[in-house]
Amino acid sequence: MPSVVKAVYVNFAAARSADRMNRLATLVRRAELNSLVIDIRSDGGALLHARDADTLAQLRALRDAGIYLIARLVAFKGGPRGWYDPGSEARWREIAEISLRAFDLGFDEVNYDYVRYGAAREPRSRTPIRERTPTVRAFFDFLRAEVGDAASRPISADVFGITLLGPLDAIGQRLEDAAERFDYVMPMPYPSHWEPGSFGFANPAHHPYETVHAALSAGLRRLAELPGRVARLRSWIQAFDLDSSRPMRRYRYTPWHVQEQIRACDDAGCAGWAAWNPRSRYEEDALRVDSPETA
């Protein structure tokens, strides 16, 4: 495992395309990255390609090229009614089985996204709000025992950026709960997703360094108070065009904006970062890394 992960996100369609994956592997080499976060299926079918042998061969080639491979598994979004019940132990077991298969096929780490109840404009749950955080925490305990400890491999969890400032009872996410049970916590403090006025900026998306650094620093201060802290913080960064205005509008995110977030992660003391673009299209200049910690 690299001591500092420098990654880009690869969506499912890109991961299944030989041409796209070749280009992304070249990007990793040319931009001095070291990792890929790759979507896998989370419904119990084939994880990536139709044949596991093809997935195994693809991942082996990437690992032989020195690339650290993180499987991104969507936990509760996308169920039969648009959202799985986070309290469903049957879903928990399915997630554990998929995770262990991902390790068997060659992934180095499993990353869990949507480890929460639905937020605004997402399907509502009948679970009382007071029960949601304990339920998500119990799921984290399950993953620690049945995946991380069972496989002796690293696991990570994505959380909303705002959880760096405090718990979100409505969706069941609490930074401390994740930090005590995962090897890495990956918050999403995208500058565009903060409300106007956050951290003193009328439009936080226009201040990528200051916004990301302030959010991460707040979270790291909270984690420093945990006596049994396990996880290190590894941040998602914004590599897509979006503004903080309300309603949101397109705003060009240049290589400078991306580099400023990388600088904020480094200065805050994160154990790396992963760039998110939903189309998995990245500008090489935005991801050039001068640090010697690239392997």
pLDDT for res 288 = 81
Average pLDDT over residues 23-35: 95
Angle at 110 between CA 108 and CA 116, to 5 degrees: 170
Tell me which amino acid residue 88 is.
S
Distances (CA, A) of 266 to 6, 85, 229, 261: 11, 37, 20, 9
pLDDT for res 293 = 42
- Residue 199 backbone dihedrals phi, psi, to 5 degrees: 60, 20
pLDDT for res 117 = 97
pLDDT for res 229 = 78
pLDDT for res 291 = 46
This model's pTM is above 0.85? yes
pLDDT for res 290 = 62
Nearest to 185 by CA among 147, 216, 159, 219: 159
Rounded CA-CA distance 59/212 in Å is 32
Distances (CA, A) of 42 to 113, 158, 177: 11, 16, 23
Mean pLDDT of the chain: 95
Residues 109/70, Cβ–Cβ less than 8 Å: yes
pLDDT for res 118 = 96
pLDDT in tens, 254-263: 999 999 999 9
Average pLDDT over residues 121-141: 96
Pairing state of beta strands 232-233 and 184-188? parallel
